[in-house]
Amino acid sequence: MVDPYELLSRELGAGRVLRSVEALEPYAQDESRLGVFPPDAAVLCESRAEIEIVLRLAAEHRIPVTPRGAGSGMTGGALPVRGGLVLSTERMKRIVEVSVDDRIAVVEPGVINADLQAAAEAEGMFYAPDPASLAFCSMGGNVAENAGGPRAFKYGVTRDWTLGMTVTLMGGETMKLGRRTPKGVTGYDLTALFVGSEGTFGVTSEITVKLIGRPEGVGTFIAVMPDAVAAGRAVSAIIRKGYRPRALELLDRAAIDHVRAKASFAFPAQAGAIVLVELDGEPDAMEAAVLRCGSVCEDEGAREVIVARDDADRERLWKTRRLVSPSLREAHAYKISEDIVVPPGSIAEMLRRADEIGARQRLLMATFGHAGDGNLHVNVLTDENHRDPEVAARIKAALGEIFRAALDLGGTLSGEHGIGIAKARYMAWEQSAEVIDWQKRLKRLWDPQELLNPGKIFAG
Ligand SMILES: Cc1cc2nc3c(=O)[nH]c(=O)nc-3n(C[C@H](O)[C@H](O)[C@H](O)COP(=O)(O)OP(=O)(O)OC[C@H]3O[C@@H](n4cnc5c(N)ncnc54)[C@H](O)[C@@H]3O)c2cc1C
């Protein structure tokens, strides 16, 4: 029988089908650090036609396929847990169109989020979804995970910005979903369904996103709070008073202390927690809005309000915020970042419970995240050997308690990182057996042989 990988090499060119152990190493892992799963091959696709060839051949030969963008996912979505081949869209980096008149951009899936932002801004336009990984994550991955970011509070997540896409199913059939108009309700909204499907329905080869005019005025400040509970109260007060910042972030003391040494923006020593607020709108109105919003934080106990003076200052502040996750990773032998969401009124209670869980399980905790949306990245950290069964049991118990706490408070398991393999076993804690079963039926509709990104989202 002909080796299917040989066939692929012949069809696409040998250089595009990687087989050696060294070449496959990067495709065996991702940023989740949930393990190393070497695939049998990695295929570097450069066009929709090539994706069709790969998915046709893979279906014929019953080879599992794992789509992959930049590998920055936090839940193991791009890990080829059942072997087979990794289909990488990292080379599909073309920004096909930026239309100011139609307020859209059309991109290939390998386009890096920050490159789309820059291309839109060069035309005076704005693409809002801004994951903290924006410098290196790809649009294909953003769409598959329905990525969020700080600006989701005002502007929503990737699904809210995705108008249409071209997807290829296992077997090689291609569908064009959605539209390029701002509005449209023709038929079922399959675009919305495919966004967030974690690469289990089809492989995206083109994405149409909406753009808006770039807000001209931006005002950014941090409120230095005595503790995380006061910070949670400040977040609630800002929203209650009718402000709609584009970002409303929270960092607890542990998160601040980890990033302090690297921070190009100096976080005050007495910070028990920080609320980072960014407003946008009319340039003339910004200064007054920042002052008023800052005084809401002072009413909730802010010790200091520090305003970014200019764009460079603002960029330093965001750079520091984006360094939190990598700093936690560098500082500890083991880190796992959770991504729970709680109703906004329960933020302070969730923060209290996270600390309690850390103390009970003798693990370090650091929490930061998109507090305006109730989306908290609770990081479980340890310098002990996490493979030691006793330590592993405490980590597992802590994660379970974090999820239980979030669900008890009326929350959800994931705000933006998806389920992947990391949270598959907890799905049944949140959703009924019937709801899970309907999702599995949907999956089988697009992929009856269950070959596309198998082993993800659902346990077993
Ligand atoms: C430091 C750091 C900060 C982060 N901050 C955020 C944040 O603020 N917000 C946030 O939402 N996420 C964040 N993430 C997580 C991650 O960056 C996002 O999930 C991102 O969307 C993944 O994109 P990627 O290109 O790296 O995808 P990958 O990791 O390669 O893949 C992710 C999923 O997408 C699927 N996929 C990829 N390309 C395609 C395609 N063309 N067609 C179909 N499926 C595809 C894969 O199969 C997989 O299931 C962060 C990660 C890191 C490391």
pLDDT tens sequence across 250-265: 999 999 999 888 777 7
**Of 68, 201, 370, which is best to mutate to test ligand 1, by the most ligand atoms within 8 angstroms of its C-beta?**
68
The residue whose CA is least distant from atom 50 of ligand 1 is: 133
Span 72-99, average pLDDT: 98
Distance 255 CA to ligand 1 centre (A): 22
Phi, psi of 213 (to 5 degrees): -65, 140
**pLDDT the model gives residue 460:** 75
pLDDT of res. 393 = 97
Residue 260 burial class via C-beta count within 10 angstroms: exposed 0-12, middle 13-18, buried 19 and up = middle
Task: Quote the pLDDT of residue 260.
Answer: 85
Note if the pTM is more than 0.75: yes
Given this model, what pLDDT does residue 74 score? 96
Q: Name which residue sits closest to atom 8 of ligand 1, judged by CA.
A: 131
| Mean local confidence (pLDDT), 321-342 | 93
Interval between CA 455 and ligand 1 midpoint (Å): 17
CB 44 within 8 A of CB 90: yes
Mean pLDDT of the chain: 95
Residue 268 has what pLDDT?
A: 82
Cα 247 to Cα 231: distance, rounded to the nearest angstrom: 14
CB atoms within 10 A of CB 172: 17
Task: Name the packing angle between helices 228-240 and 283-299 (round to 10°).
Answer: 130
Residues 350 and 406: beta-carbon distance below 8 Å: yes
Confidence at residue 92, expressed as pLDDT on a 0 to 100 scale: 98
Measure 74 CA to ligand 1 centroid, in angstroms. 7
Question: Which residue ranges form the domains of the chain, and what is each CATH number?
Answer: 4-88 (3.30.43.10), 95-213 (3.30.465.10), 217-321 (3.30.70.2190), 332-418 (3.30.70.2740)
Distance CA 340, CA 322 (A): 18
- Residue 126's alpha-carbon distances to 44, 100, 106, 123, in angstroms, are 30, 10, 14, 9
Angle at 113 between CA 173 and CA 210, to 5 degrees: 70
Give me the count of residues in the chain.
460
Does residue 306 surpass a pLDDT of 80? yes
Considering only residues 3 and 141, tell me which one the structure prediction assigns the higher pLDDT: 141
User: Which atom of ligand 1 lies closest to the CA of 67?
Assistant: 47
Average pLDDT over residues 76-84: 98
pLDDT at 56 over 90: yes
Choose the residue to mutate in 74, 127, 251 for probing ligand 1, maximizing ligand atoms within 8 Å of C-beta.
74
The rounded distance, in Å, linking the Cα atoms of 35 and 83 is: 13
Q: Which residues contact 254 (CB under 8 A, 6 or more apart)?
A: 364, 365, 366, 367
Of 79, 137, 206, the one to substitute when testing ligand 1's pocket (max ligand atoms within 8 A of C-beta) is: 137
Measured in Å, residue 157 CA sits from the centre of ligand 1 at 13
Neighbours of 187 (CB within 10 A): 7
DSSP assignment of 431-450, as one string? S-HHHHHHHHHHHHHH-TT-
**Given the structure tokens 């009856």, which residue do they identify?**
448
Alpha-carbon distance of 348 to 362, in angstroms, equals: 21
User: pLDDT grade, residue 269 (50/70/90)?
Assistant: confident
Q: How many CA atoms lie within 13 A of 129 on its CB side?
A: 24
Q: Using alpha carbons only, what angle is made at residue 193 by residues 187 and 195, rounded to the nearest 5 degrees? A: 130
Nearest CA to ligand 1 atom 9: 131
3-state secondary structure at position 111: coil
Distance 68 CA to ligand 1 centre (A): 9
| Numbers of helices and strands, H then E, in the chain | 17, 19
pLDDT tens sequence across 445-455? 999 999 999 99
**pLDDT grade, residue 386 (50/70/90)?**
very high
What are the tokens at 127?
């693409």
Which residue's CA is the closest to the ligand 1 atom numbered 2?
A: 133
Q: Burial code of 267-287, b = ≥16 C-beta within 10 A, e = fewer?
A: beeebbbbbbbbbbeeeeebe
The structure tokens 């520090």 sit at: 306
User: How high is the pLDDT of residue 361?
Assistant: 97
Separation of 22 CA from ligand 1 center, angstroms? Answer: 23
**pLDDT of 217-255, one tens digit each?**
999 999 999 998 899 899 999 999 999 999 999 999 999
Distance 104 CA to ligand 1 centre (A): 22
Q: Which of 145, 169, 373, 451 for a ligand 1 pocket mutation test, highest count of atoms within 8 Å of Cβ?
A: 145
Q: In ligand 1, which atom is closest to the CA atom of 416?
A: 11
List all residues whose CB is within 6 A of at least one atom of ligand 1.
30-31, 66-74, 77-78, 89, 109, 131-133, 137-138, 140-142, 144-145, 147-149, 198-199, 203-204, 325-326, 416-417, 453
Ligand 1 pocket test, pick from 43, 46, 55, 72 with the greatest ligand atom count within 8 Å of Cβ, gives 72
Point out which residues pair with 104 in neighbouring strands: 99, 210
Higher pLDDT, 267 or 31: 31
Residues 363-367 have a mean pLDDT of: 95
Distance from the CA of 325 to the center of ligand 1, in angstroms?
A: 15
Q: For residues 283 and 293, give the distance between their C-alpha atoms in angstroms, rounded to a whole number.
A: 16
Please say if the pLDDT value at position 389 is more than 90: yes
What is the CA(72)–ligand 1 centre distance, in A?
A: 5
